[in-house]
Chain A
Amino acid sequence: MKSKYDMLIVGGGPAGAIAAKTAAEAGCTVCLIEKRPAIGTPIRCAEGVGREILEEFTRPDPRWISSSIERAKIIVPNGTAIRLDQDDPGNAVGYILDRKVFDRELVWQAAEAGADVFVKTRATAPIMEGGAVRGAKVISIGTPIDIRADVVLAADGTEAQFARRAGLDTTVPLREIMSCTQYLLTDIDIDPVSTDFYLGNDIAPEGYLWVFPKGERTANVGIGISGRKSRDGSRAKDYLDRFIAENFPGGKTIEAIVGGVPVCQPLPCTVADGLMVIGDAARVVDPLTGGGIGNAMFTGRLAAKVAAEAISAGDCSKKTLMPYDVGWRASRMGASLTRNYKIKEFFITLDDRKLNVLADSIASIGLAEFSVSALIKELIKRNPKMLFELGALKSSLS
Protein backbone atom coordinates (compact mmCIF):
# COMPACT_ATOMS: atom_id res chain seq x y z
CA MET A 1 0.00 0.00 0.00
CA LYS A 2 1.33 3.40 -0.98
CA SER A 3 0.71 6.43 1.20
CA LYS A 4 -0.54 8.57 -1.71
CA TYR A 5 -2.80 7.79 -4.69
CA ASP A 6 -4.61 9.89 -7.27
CA MET A 7 -7.86 8.27 -6.23
CA LEU A 8 -8.98 6.38 -3.14
CA ILE A 9 -12.19 4.36 -3.34
CA VAL A 10 -13.92 3.33 -0.13
CA GLY A 11 -16.03 0.19 -0.65
CA GLY A 12 -15.66 -2.81 -2.96
CA GLY A 13 -19.26 -3.21 -4.22
CA PRO A 14 -20.32 -2.65 -7.85
CA ALA A 15 -20.03 1.16 -7.53
CA GLY A 16 -16.48 1.10 -6.17
CA ALA A 17 -15.29 -1.66 -8.50
CA ILE A 18 -16.51 -0.01 -11.72
CA ALA A 19 -15.11 3.34 -10.54
CA ALA A 20 -11.72 1.75 -9.80
CA LYS A 21 -11.59 0.07 -13.20
CA THR A 22 -12.62 3.24 -15.05
CA ALA A 23 -10.08 5.39 -13.19
CA ALA A 24 -7.23 2.90 -13.65
CA GLU A 25 -7.98 2.69 -17.36
CA ALA A 26 -7.86 6.50 -17.50
CA GLY A 27 -4.29 6.33 -16.17
CA CYS A 28 -4.90 7.26 -12.52
CA THR A 29 -3.20 5.54 -9.60
CA VAL A 30 -6.09 3.96 -7.73
CA CYS A 31 -6.54 2.34 -4.33
CA LEU A 32 -9.72 0.39 -3.58
CA ILE A 33 -10.35 -0.57 0.03
CA GLU A 34 -13.02 -2.96 1.35
CA LYS A 35 -13.63 -3.44 5.05
CA ARG A 36 -14.85 -7.01 4.79
CA PRO A 37 -12.34 -9.83 4.52
CA ALA A 38 -13.85 -11.04 1.23
CA ILE A 39 -15.41 -9.16 -1.67
CA GLY A 40 -19.07 -9.91 -2.27
CA THR A 41 -19.91 -11.81 0.88
CA PRO A 42 -22.20 -12.01 2.69
CA ILE A 43 -24.49 -10.80 -0.08
CA ARG A 44 -27.04 -8.08 0.63
CA CYS A 45 -29.12 -8.53 -2.48
CA ALA A 46 -31.88 -10.37 -4.36
CA GLU A 47 -29.48 -10.33 -7.33
CA GLY A 48 -31.89 -9.22 -10.06
CA VAL A 49 -30.56 -6.98 -12.83
CA GLY A 50 -31.83 -5.84 -16.24
CA ARG A 51 -30.04 -7.21 -19.28
CA GLU A 52 -29.50 -3.84 -20.97
CA ILE A 53 -27.87 -2.08 -18.04
CA LEU A 54 -25.70 -5.08 -17.21
CA GLU A 55 -24.40 -5.39 -20.76
CA GLU A 56 -23.44 -1.74 -20.72
CA PHE A 57 -20.74 -2.66 -18.22
CA THR A 58 -19.71 -6.22 -18.80
CA ARG A 59 -20.52 -9.26 -20.90
CA PRO A 60 -22.88 -11.74 -19.20
CA ASP A 61 -20.88 -14.76 -18.13
CA PRO A 62 -22.37 -18.13 -17.10
CA ARG A 63 -19.94 -18.18 -14.17
CA TRP A 64 -21.99 -15.53 -12.38
CA ILE A 65 -25.45 -15.82 -13.93
CA SER A 66 -27.76 -18.02 -11.87
CA SER A 67 -30.75 -17.73 -14.19
CA SER A 68 -32.20 -15.85 -17.15
CA ILE A 69 -35.51 -14.06 -16.67
CA GLU A 70 -38.25 -13.95 -19.30
CA ARG A 71 -41.20 -12.51 -17.41
CA ALA A 72 -42.41 -10.89 -14.22
CA LYS A 73 -45.60 -11.33 -12.25
CA ILE A 74 -47.08 -8.92 -9.74
CA ILE A 75 -49.48 -10.66 -7.38
CA VAL A 76 -51.98 -8.60 -5.36
CA PRO A 77 -53.82 -9.64 -2.16
CA ASN A 78 -56.85 -11.20 -3.92
CA GLY A 79 -54.51 -13.46 -5.88
CA THR A 80 -54.78 -11.66 -9.23
CA ALA A 81 -51.48 -11.72 -11.09
CA ILE A 82 -50.41 -9.05 -13.52
CA ARG A 83 -48.10 -10.67 -16.04
CA LEU A 84 -45.36 -8.77 -17.79
CA ASP A 85 -44.16 -10.79 -20.73
CA GLN A 86 -41.64 -9.79 -23.28
CA ASP A 87 -42.40 -9.70 -26.99
CA ASP A 88 -39.46 -11.88 -27.91
CA PRO A 89 -39.88 -15.20 -26.06
CA GLY A 90 -36.74 -17.14 -25.26
CA ASN A 91 -34.72 -13.95 -24.94
CA ALA A 92 -33.73 -12.81 -21.44
CA VAL A 93 -35.00 -9.45 -20.18
CA GLY A 94 -32.84 -9.76 -17.13
CA TYR A 95 -30.76 -12.02 -14.97
CA ILE A 96 -30.48 -13.27 -11.45
CA LEU A 97 -26.80 -12.97 -10.66
CA ASP A 98 -24.54 -14.88 -8.34
CA ARG A 99 -23.23 -11.75 -6.66
CA LYS A 100 -20.54 -13.49 -4.67
CA VAL A 101 -18.88 -14.26 -7.99
CA PHE A 102 -20.08 -11.16 -9.86
CA ASP A 103 -18.73 -8.65 -7.32
CA ARG A 104 -15.38 -10.44 -7.30
CA GLU A 105 -15.27 -10.43 -11.07
CA LEU A 106 -15.75 -6.64 -11.13
CA VAL A 107 -12.99 -6.09 -8.56
CA TRP A 108 -10.81 -8.50 -10.46
CA GLN A 109 -11.30 -6.43 -13.61
CA ALA A 110 -10.35 -3.29 -11.64
CA ALA A 111 -7.20 -4.96 -10.34
CA GLU A 112 -6.33 -6.12 -13.83
CA ALA A 113 -6.71 -2.56 -15.09
CA GLY A 114 -4.09 -1.54 -12.52
CA ALA A 115 -5.92 -0.61 -9.32
CA ASP A 116 -4.48 -1.63 -5.94
CA VAL A 117 -6.99 -3.57 -3.84
CA PHE A 118 -7.00 -4.11 -0.08
CA VAL A 119 -9.54 -6.15 1.88
CA LYS A 120 -10.17 -6.11 5.63
CA THR A 121 -9.24 -2.46 5.35
CA ARG A 122 -11.74 0.00 6.82
CA ALA A 123 -11.88 3.75 6.42
CA THR A 124 -12.54 5.21 9.84
CA ALA A 125 -12.53 8.93 8.99
CA PRO A 126 -11.69 11.33 6.20
CA ILE A 127 -8.44 13.28 6.34
CA MET A 128 -9.70 16.87 6.22
CA GLU A 129 -7.60 19.92 5.39
CA GLY A 130 -9.09 23.38 5.04
CA GLY A 131 -12.56 21.85 4.68
CA ALA A 132 -11.47 19.56 1.84
CA VAL A 133 -11.14 15.76 1.84
CA ARG A 134 -7.52 14.78 1.26
CA GLY A 135 -7.63 11.05 1.92
CA ALA A 136 -8.72 8.67 4.63
CA LYS A 137 -7.59 7.24 7.91
CA VAL A 138 -7.85 3.48 7.56
CA ILE A 139 -7.23 0.38 9.62
CA SER A 140 -5.79 -2.40 7.49
CA ILE A 141 -5.84 -5.78 9.25
CA GLY A 142 -5.27 -4.03 12.54
CA THR A 143 -2.71 -1.50 11.38
CA PRO A 144 -3.72 2.20 11.31
CA ILE A 145 -2.53 3.95 8.12
CA ASP A 146 -3.16 7.35 6.50
CA ILE A 147 -3.86 7.13 2.77
CA ARG A 148 -3.78 10.44 0.97
CA ALA A 149 -5.53 11.01 -2.34
CA ASP A 150 -6.52 13.88 -4.63
CA VAL A 151 -10.08 12.57 -4.71
CA VAL A 152 -11.88 10.08 -2.47
CA LEU A 153 -14.90 8.23 -3.85
CA ALA A 154 -17.29 7.14 -1.10
CA ALA A 155 -18.76 3.84 -2.33
CA ASP A 156 -19.55 2.48 1.12
CA GLY A 157 -23.13 1.41 0.43
CA THR A 158 -26.11 1.67 2.78
CA GLU A 159 -24.01 2.60 5.79
CA ALA A 160 -22.56 5.66 4.02
CA GLN A 161 -20.47 6.78 6.97
CA PHE A 162 -17.55 8.20 5.04
CA ALA A 163 -19.49 11.04 3.40
CA ARG A 164 -21.31 11.61 6.66
CA ARG A 165 -18.04 12.15 8.48
CA ALA A 166 -16.97 14.55 5.76
CA GLY A 167 -20.04 16.65 6.51
CA LEU A 168 -22.80 15.35 4.18
CA ASP A 169 -25.90 14.07 5.96
CA THR A 170 -26.54 10.55 4.67
CA THR A 171 -28.96 9.44 7.42
CA VAL A 172 -31.92 7.52 5.98
CA PRO A 173 -35.31 8.43 7.52
CA LEU A 174 -36.85 5.41 9.30
CA ARG A 175 -39.86 5.34 6.96
CA GLU A 176 -37.56 5.25 3.94
CA ILE A 177 -35.35 2.34 4.86
CA MET A 178 -36.54 -0.99 3.49
CA SER A 179 -35.87 -3.48 6.26
CA CYS A 180 -35.15 -6.77 4.47
CA THR A 181 -34.75 -10.48 5.12
CA GLN A 182 -34.09 -13.11 2.46
CA TYR A 183 -33.63 -16.85 2.32
CA LEU A 184 -32.08 -18.86 -0.44
CA LEU A 185 -34.76 -21.55 -0.50
CA THR A 186 -34.33 -24.83 -2.27
CA ASP A 187 -36.59 -27.76 -3.11
CA ILE A 188 -39.57 -25.51 -3.91
CA ASP A 189 -42.01 -25.28 -6.83
CA ILE A 190 -41.39 -22.07 -8.75
CA ASP A 191 -41.61 -20.61 -12.23
CA PRO A 192 -37.88 -20.70 -13.03
CA VAL A 193 -37.96 -17.90 -15.63
CA SER A 194 -40.17 -15.41 -13.75
CA THR A 195 -39.46 -12.82 -11.09
CA ASP A 196 -42.55 -12.72 -8.86
CA PHE A 197 -43.52 -9.76 -6.69
CA TYR A 198 -46.18 -10.01 -3.97
CA LEU A 199 -47.91 -6.84 -2.79
CA GLY A 200 -50.26 -6.16 0.11
CA ASN A 201 -50.38 -4.65 3.54
CA ASP A 202 -50.59 -8.01 5.29
CA ILE A 203 -47.79 -9.43 3.13
CA ALA A 204 -45.22 -6.64 3.00
CA PRO A 205 -46.39 -3.27 4.37
CA GLU A 206 -45.07 -0.39 2.22
CA GLY A 207 -42.76 -2.80 0.45
CA TYR A 208 -42.98 -6.10 -1.36
CA LEU A 209 -42.05 -9.73 -1.16
CA TRP A 210 -40.05 -11.31 -3.97
CA VAL A 211 -39.36 -14.75 -5.41
CA PHE A 212 -36.35 -14.55 -7.74
CA PRO A 213 -35.36 -17.91 -9.29
CA LYS A 214 -31.79 -19.11 -8.89
CA GLY A 215 -32.43 -22.45 -10.61
CA GLU A 216 -35.21 -24.91 -11.41
CA ARG A 217 -36.23 -25.44 -7.76
CA THR A 218 -34.28 -22.77 -5.93
CA ALA A 219 -34.99 -19.07 -5.39
CA ASN A 220 -34.11 -15.97 -3.43
CA VAL A 221 -37.30 -15.52 -1.40
CA GLY A 222 -37.15 -12.24 0.43
CA ILE A 223 -39.03 -9.25 1.71
CA GLY A 224 -38.59 -5.56 2.33
CA ILE A 225 -40.91 -3.56 4.57
CA SER A 226 -40.79 0.08 5.57
CA GLY A 227 -38.80 0.75 8.73
CA ARG A 228 -41.83 2.50 10.23
CA LYS A 229 -43.86 -0.72 9.89
CA SER A 230 -41.17 -2.79 11.57
CA ARG A 231 -41.83 -3.76 15.20
CA ASP A 232 -41.39 -6.72 17.52
CA GLY A 233 -43.53 -9.52 16.14
CA SER A 234 -43.95 -7.81 12.76
CA ARG A 235 -40.43 -7.47 11.46
CA ALA A 236 -39.24 -8.41 7.97
CA LYS A 237 -38.30 -11.87 9.18
CA ASP A 238 -41.73 -12.45 10.77
CA TYR A 239 -43.57 -11.58 7.55
CA LEU A 240 -41.23 -13.73 5.49
CA ASP A 241 -41.55 -16.73 7.78
CA ARG A 242 -45.34 -16.50 7.62
CA PHE A 243 -45.33 -16.35 3.82
CA ILE A 244 -42.98 -19.29 3.51
CA ALA A 245 -44.94 -21.43 5.98
CA GLU A 246 -48.00 -20.88 3.81
CA ASN A 247 -46.48 -21.03 0.32
CA PHE A 248 -43.28 -23.10 0.49
CA PRO A 249 -43.72 -25.29 3.59
CA GLY A 250 -41.22 -27.90 2.35
CA GLY A 251 -38.51 -25.40 1.37
CA LYS A 252 -35.05 -25.69 2.84
CA THR A 253 -33.06 -22.58 3.65
CA ILE A 254 -29.43 -22.81 2.63
CA GLU A 255 -28.59 -19.14 3.17
CA ALA A 256 -30.23 -16.42 5.27
CA ILE A 257 -29.33 -12.76 4.87
CA VAL A 258 -30.62 -9.40 6.05
CA GLY A 259 -30.13 -5.90 4.76
CA GLY A 260 -31.41 -2.35 4.41
CA VAL A 261 -32.26 -0.61 1.15
CA PRO A 262 -32.48 3.19 1.19
CA VAL A 263 -35.52 4.28 -0.87
CA CYS A 264 -35.25 7.95 0.03
CA GLN A 265 -34.36 10.75 -2.36
CA PRO A 266 -30.73 11.03 -3.47
CA LEU A 267 -28.34 13.20 -1.43
CA PRO A 268 -28.97 16.90 -2.17
CA CYS A 269 -25.40 17.09 -3.46
CA THR A 270 -23.08 14.18 -4.21
CA VAL A 271 -19.78 16.07 -4.38
CA ALA A 272 -17.67 18.19 -2.03
CA ASP A 273 -14.07 19.40 -2.15
CA GLY A 274 -12.02 16.26 -2.82
CA LEU A 275 -15.03 13.95 -2.38
CA MET A 276 -17.59 12.19 -4.60
CA VAL A 277 -20.36 9.88 -3.41
CA ILE A 278 -21.48 6.97 -5.61
CA GLY A 279 -23.92 4.04 -5.54
CA ASP A 280 -26.08 3.28 -2.52
CA ALA A 281 -24.06 5.75 -0.43
CA ALA A 282 -25.39 8.52 -2.70
CA ARG A 283 -28.91 7.10 -2.19
CA VAL A 284 -29.48 6.41 -5.89
CA VAL A 285 -31.37 3.14 -5.49
CA ASP A 286 -34.54 3.04 -7.59
CA PRO A 287 -37.12 3.90 -4.89
CA LEU A 288 -39.89 1.90 -6.58
CA THR A 289 -38.07 -1.37 -7.22
CA GLY A 290 -35.23 -1.17 -4.69
CA GLY A 291 -32.81 -2.05 -7.48
CA GLY A 292 -29.40 -0.43 -7.12
CA ILE A 293 -26.79 -2.54 -8.93
CA GLY A 294 -27.18 -0.76 -12.28
CA ASN A 295 -27.28 2.72 -10.76
CA ALA A 296 -24.23 1.93 -8.62
CA MET A 297 -22.23 0.99 -11.72
CA PHE A 298 -23.55 3.98 -13.66
CA THR A 299 -22.63 6.53 -10.98
CA GLY A 300 -19.29 4.79 -10.33
CA ARG A 301 -18.22 5.09 -13.95
CA LEU A 302 -19.39 8.68 -14.36
CA ALA A 303 -17.72 9.84 -11.13
CA ALA A 304 -14.42 8.19 -12.04
CA LYS A 305 -14.39 9.86 -15.46
CA VAL A 306 -15.03 13.30 -14.00
CA ALA A 307 -12.48 12.70 -11.22
CA ALA A 308 -9.80 11.57 -13.68
CA GLU A 309 -10.19 14.83 -15.60
CA ALA A 310 -10.09 16.89 -12.42
CA ILE A 311 -6.94 15.10 -11.29
CA SER A 312 -5.13 15.71 -14.57
CA ALA A 313 -6.21 19.37 -14.44
CA GLY A 314 -4.78 19.55 -10.90
CA ASP A 315 -8.01 20.87 -9.39
CA CYS A 316 -10.28 18.60 -7.32
CA SER A 317 -12.49 21.28 -5.83
CA LYS A 318 -16.24 20.80 -5.53
CA LYS A 319 -16.72 23.08 -8.53
CA THR A 320 -14.54 20.92 -10.76
CA LEU A 321 -16.19 17.71 -9.56
CA MET A 322 -19.69 19.15 -9.99
CA PRO A 323 -20.19 17.83 -13.57
CA TYR A 324 -20.66 14.40 -11.97
CA ASP A 325 -23.57 15.59 -9.83
CA VAL A 326 -25.12 17.56 -12.69
CA GLY A 327 -24.46 14.69 -15.09
CA TRP A 328 -26.26 11.89 -13.28
CA ARG A 329 -29.20 14.12 -12.41
CA ALA A 330 -29.62 15.02 -16.09
CA SER A 331 -29.28 11.40 -17.20
CA ARG A 332 -32.08 8.91 -17.84
CA MET A 333 -31.27 7.40 -14.46
CA GLY A 334 -31.70 10.79 -12.75
CA ALA A 335 -35.07 11.38 -14.41
CA SER A 336 -36.33 7.94 -13.53
CA LEU A 337 -35.26 8.33 -9.89
CA THR A 338 -37.33 11.51 -9.60
CA ARG A 339 -40.34 9.97 -11.29
CA ASN A 340 -40.21 6.65 -9.47
CA TYR A 341 -39.87 8.38 -6.12
CA LYS A 342 -43.20 10.12 -6.75
CA ILE A 343 -44.80 6.87 -7.89
CA LYS A 344 -43.53 5.06 -4.80
CA GLU A 345 -44.81 7.78 -2.47
CA PHE A 346 -48.24 7.45 -4.06
CA PHE A 347 -48.39 3.65 -4.18
CA ILE A 348 -47.60 3.20 -0.50
CA THR A 349 -50.85 5.07 0.26
CA LEU A 350 -52.99 2.45 -1.54
CA ASP A 351 -54.88 -0.06 0.60
CA ASP A 352 -55.37 -3.69 -0.40
CA ARG A 353 -58.80 -3.05 -1.93
CA LYS A 354 -57.38 -0.45 -4.30
CA LEU A 355 -54.46 -2.70 -5.22
CA ASN A 356 -56.95 -5.43 -6.14
CA VAL A 357 -59.04 -3.07 -8.28
CA LEU A 358 -55.95 -1.84 -10.09
CA ALA A 359 -54.68 -5.34 -10.77
CA ASP A 360 -58.09 -6.54 -11.96
CA SER A 361 -58.30 -3.61 -14.39
CA ILE A 362 -55.21 -4.77 -16.18
CA ALA A 363 -54.85 -8.50 -15.53
CA SER A 364 -56.62 -9.64 -18.71
CA ILE A 365 -54.74 -7.45 -21.18
CA GLY A 366 -51.33 -8.33 -22.56
CA LEU A 367 -48.83 -5.57 -21.94
CA ALA A 368 -46.92 -4.86 -25.11
CA GLU A 369 -43.77 -3.76 -23.35
CA PHE A 370 -41.81 -5.18 -20.44
CA SER A 371 -41.22 -2.19 -18.21
CA VAL A 372 -42.42 -0.56 -15.03
CA SER A 373 -43.25 2.65 -16.87
CA ALA A 374 -45.36 0.83 -19.48
CA LEU A 375 -47.26 -0.82 -16.63
CA ILE A 376 -47.85 2.43 -14.73
CA LYS A 377 -48.92 4.17 -17.93
CA GLU A 378 -51.51 1.48 -18.65
CA LEU A 379 -52.77 1.61 -15.05
CA ILE A 380 -53.24 5.39 -15.25
CA LYS A 381 -55.10 5.03 -18.55
CA ARG A 382 -57.53 2.52 -17.08
CA ASN A 383 -57.95 4.07 -13.65
CA PRO A 384 -57.72 7.83 -14.21
CA LYS A 385 -59.71 8.74 -11.10
CA MET A 386 -57.93 6.50 -8.62
CA LEU A 387 -54.54 7.45 -9.99
CA PHE A 388 -55.39 11.10 -10.54
CA GLU A 389 -52.30 12.22 -8.63
CA LEU A 390 -50.06 10.32 -11.01
CA GLY A 391 -51.63 11.83 -14.14
CA ALA A 392 -49.07 14.64 -14.15
CA LEU A 393 -46.29 12.08 -14.57
CA LYS A 394 -47.80 10.58 -17.72
CA SER A 395 -45.54 12.47 -20.09
CA SER A 396 -42.41 11.18 -18.30
CA LEU A 397 -43.49 7.55 -18.71
CA SER A 398 -41.97 6.81 -22.06
Chain B
Amino acid sequence: MNTMLRINRDTCGYCGTCVAVCPEDALELIDAYLSLERECIACGICARACPLGALEVVHEE
Protein backbone atom coordinates (compact mmCIF):
# COMPACT_ATOMS: atom_id res chain seq x y z
CA MET B 1 0.00 0.00 0.00
CA ASN B 2 1.16 3.47 -0.88
CA THR B 3 0.48 6.50 1.30
CA MET B 4 0.66 9.94 -0.24
CA LEU B 5 -0.44 13.53 0.11
CA ARG B 6 -3.12 14.76 -2.25
CA ILE B 7 -3.32 18.49 -2.94
CA ASN B 8 -6.68 19.80 -4.12
CA ARG B 9 -5.65 22.93 -5.98
CA ASP B 10 -9.22 23.97 -6.64
CA THR B 11 -9.63 24.36 -2.88
CA CYS B 12 -6.15 25.64 -1.94
CA GLY B 13 -5.95 29.37 -1.13
CA TYR B 14 -2.10 29.37 -1.34
CA CYS B 15 -1.50 30.76 2.14
CA GLY B 16 1.51 28.74 3.31
CA THR B 17 0.01 27.59 6.62
CA CYS B 18 0.79 23.98 5.69
CA VAL B 19 4.38 24.95 4.82
CA ALA B 20 4.91 26.41 8.30
CA VAL B 21 3.85 23.26 10.15
CA CYS B 22 5.42 20.58 7.95
CA PRO B 23 8.15 18.91 10.03
CA GLU B 24 9.96 17.72 6.91
CA ASP B 25 10.07 21.00 4.93
CA ALA B 26 8.47 19.01 2.13
CA LEU B 27 6.07 21.63 0.79
CA GLU B 28 6.79 24.75 -1.18
CA LEU B 29 4.52 27.56 -2.27
CA ILE B 30 5.56 28.78 -5.68
CA ASP B 31 3.35 31.79 -6.24
CA ALA B 32 -0.15 30.36 -6.16
CA TYR B 33 1.01 26.79 -6.76
CA LEU B 34 1.53 24.52 -3.76
CA SER B 35 4.05 21.89 -4.63
CA LEU B 36 5.38 18.80 -2.87
CA GLU B 37 9.09 19.32 -3.49
CA ARG B 38 10.77 16.93 -1.09
CA GLU B 39 10.21 13.65 0.77
CA CYS B 40 6.83 13.56 2.56
CA ILE B 41 6.33 11.19 5.50
CA ALA B 42 2.52 11.39 5.16
CA CYS B 43 2.13 12.50 8.79
CA GLY B 44 -0.98 14.53 7.98
CA ILE B 45 -0.06 17.57 10.10
CA CYS B 46 -0.41 19.92 7.13
CA ALA B 47 -3.85 18.49 6.33
CA ARG B 48 -5.01 19.29 9.87
CA ALA B 49 -3.74 22.88 9.82
CA CYS B 50 -5.19 23.87 6.44
CA PRO B 51 -8.00 26.43 6.91
CA LEU B 52 -9.83 25.12 3.84
CA GLY B 53 -9.23 21.38 3.89
CA ALA B 54 -7.30 21.30 0.63
CA LEU B 55 -4.94 18.52 1.71
CA GLU B 56 -5.56 14.85 2.29
CA VAL B 57 -3.35 11.90 3.11
CA VAL B 58 -4.60 9.07 0.91
CA HIS B 59 -3.85 5.38 1.00
CA GLU B 60 -3.63 3.66 -2.34
CA GLU B 61 -3.56 -0.07 -3.00
Partner of A235, one of B19, B28, B29, B50: B50
By a CB distance below 8 angstroms, the chain B residues around A236 are 51-52
Query: Interface digits, A43-60 against B, CB 8 Å rule (1 contact, 0 not)?
Result: 010000000000000000
By a CB distance below 8 angstroms, the chain A residues around B50 are 179, 230, 235
Determine if B22 and A235 form an interchain contact, defined as CB atoms under 8 angstroms apart.
no
Determine if A258 and B20 form an interchain contact, defined as CB atoms under 8 angstroms apart.
no
By a CB distance below 8 angstroms, the chain A residues around B14 are 42
Take A36-B31, A165-B25 as given contacts and tell me if A228 and B16 are in contact as well, using a CB distance cutoff of 8 Å. Answer: no
Determine if A232 and B15 form an interchain contact, defined as CB atoms under 8 angstroms apart.
no
Kindly provide the distance from the CB of B52 to the nearest chain A CB, expressed in whole angstroms: 6
- Which residue of chain B lies nearest to A36 when distances are taken between CB atoms in the complex? B31
By a CB distance below 8 angstroms, the chain B residues around A44 are 15-16
Take A159-B20, A165-B25, A177-B20 as given contacts and tell me if A258 and B13 are in contact as well, using a CB distance cutoff of 8 Å. Answer: yes
Take A37-B31, A122-B30, A258-B15 as given contacts and tell me if A158 and B20 are in contact as well, using a CB distance cutoff of 8 Å. Answer: yes
Does A368 reach chain B (CB closer than 8 Å)?
no
Partner of A159, one of B23, B29, B49: B29
Task: Give the residues from 9 to 27 in chain B that come closer than 8 angstroms, CB to CB, to chain A.
Answer: 13-23, 25
Determine if B49 and A258 form an interchain contact, defined as CB atoms under 8 angstroms apart.
no
Partner of B49, one of A42, A161, A170, A230: A230
Task: Give the residues from 145 to 175 in chain A that come closer than 8 angstroms, CB to CB, to chain B.
Answer: 157-161, 164-165, 170-174
Query: Interface digits, B33-56 against A, CB 8 Å rule (1 contact, 0 not)?
Result: 000000000000100111111000
Determine if A260 and B52 form an interchain contact, defined as CB atoms under 8 angstroms apart.
no
Kindly provide the distance from the CB of A159 to the nearest chain B CB, expressed in whole angstroms: 4
- Which residue of chain A lies nearest to B17 when distances are taken between CB atoms in the complex? A260
Partner of A164, one of B13, B15, B16, B25: B25
Does A343 reach chain B (CB closer than 8 Å)?
no
Determine if B21 and A257 form an interchain contact, defined as CB atoms under 8 angstroms apart.
no
- Which residue of chain B lies nearest to A170 when distances are taken between CB atoms in the complex? B20
Determine if B48 and A158 form an interchain contact, defined as CB atoms under 8 angstroms apart.
no
Does A262 reach chain B (CB closer than 8 Å)?
yes
Task: Give the residues from 228 to 285 in chain A that come closer than 8 angstroms, CB to CB, to chain B.
Answer: 228, 230-232, 235-237, 256-260, 262
By a CB distance below 8 angstroms, the chain A residues around B29 are 159
Determine if A228 and B48 form an interchain contact, defined as CB atoms under 8 angstroms apart.
yes
Subset of 25 A-B contacts with CB under 8 Å: A35-B31, A37-B31, A44-B15, A44-B16, A120-B31, A158-B19, A159-B16, A161-B19, A171-B23, A174-B48, A174-B49, A177-B49, A179-B17, A181-B51, A228-B48, A230-B49, A230-B51, A236-B51, A256-B13, A258-B52, A259-B15, A259-B51, A260-B18, A260-B51, A262-B20
List the interface of chain A (C-beta within 8 A of B): 35-37, 42, 44, 120, 122, 157-161, 164-165, 170-174, 177, 179-181, 227-228, 230-232, 235-237, 256-260, 262
Top-3 shortest CB links A-B: A260-B17, A258-B13, A236-B51
List the interface of chain B (C-beta within 8 A of A): 13-23, 25, 28-31, 45, 48-53
